[in-house]
Amino acid sequence: MELTAGIIADHLKGEVVGNRDVVVTGVSRIEQGKAGTACFLANLKYEKYLYVTKASVVLINRSFSPSREVHTTLIKVDDAYTAVASLLAMFTTQKKKKGWEFPHSISRKASIGRKVYIGAHSYIGKRARIGNGAQIYPQVFIGDNVRIGAGTILYPGVKVYDDCIIGENCIIHANAVIGSDGFGFAPESDGTYRKIPQTGNVIIEDNVEIGANTVVDRATMGSTIIRKGVKLDNLIQVAHNVEIGENTVMAAQSGIAGSTHLGPNCMIGGQAGIVGHLSIPARTLLGAQTGVIGQVKEEGSILLGTPAIDHKIFMRAYARFKKSGMKN
């Protein structure tokens, strides 16, 4: 695909500084920019590459002013990082797979919508319902009574256990497991543990994306709920009866213990952990490796460390630790 700087700017509601007619055919990183490609500058740590890049077009923030002469065409936008997502979409045309591949196993009691792709070695159980345009890649398991919404993509090896519900336009990446048993065991007097039956399900609302090898456990009773717009990275553990509020994002290797509720628009850093039975309010930010062991009271809190404390207190404490270490 060929796009001019002018076409890109019009699409992004940006302003061209330079040649509106310069043509680009793809995208690149600013430090590896090549002629005929477009890139972006959002993090000022990469500003030095702006003055030497061979890319034909660079997206920049309107608020940014170059400190030296720039030899490439610029497009000023409100937020370069957000705009690059739209730019990538302009060059990406995802081709949907079509038809049913063999062998596969589909219950006669399942309901399959129109224009659904079903990959080889997939299994679809009794009374499962697959919405129009869904993409079921090879080796996917879909249990009995499962509902998959229209336009949802299940990549190879995804497992969706019985009774779980996945909304429309979701993306579940390879080998994710939806609806496995929650970690529920009752201690016995002889030191053994009795398994507590996990009788609930998982409900995933619309426009959710779940990364590879992430696990969302079914509820002991009721539902584990992932609200609309949530984005989960790879290798995340979501325990039984957790509820994650809409538009919350979680980075890799983080985990939430049972019955904890996260409010909307939270941001959870990599390897962060949250113990069970807590309520995390809206817009809470947890830095990487933060451990939350008690209630978070205020919306918009920014927490670091284990046990988690306010980020300003953490940074002051870190400065004192660092200073003390230098003296020693």
Tokens 């990446």, residue located: 173
Who's near 317: CB < 8 A, 6+ residues apart?
A: 309
CA distances for 74 relative to 21, 28, 42, 48, angstroms: 12, 15, 13, 15
> For residues 154 and 135, is the Cβ–Cβ distance under 8 A?
yes
In angstroms, rounded to a whole number, what is the distance separating the alpha carbons of residues 26 and 20?
16
**Do strands 141-142 and 302-304 pair parallel, antiparallel, or not at all (unpaired)?**
unpaired
Who's near 29: CB < 8 A, 6+ residues apart?
A: 39
219 burial via Cβ count (<10 Å: 0-12, 13-18, 19+):
buried
> Which neighbouring-strand residues pair with 215?
177, 237
| Residue tagged active-site, from 104, 173, 240, 311 | 240
* DSSP states of 241-259: T-EE-TT-EE-TT-EE-TT
Active site residue 11: no
**Residue 224, CB-side half-sphere exposure with 13 Å CA sphere:** 31
Active site residues: 240
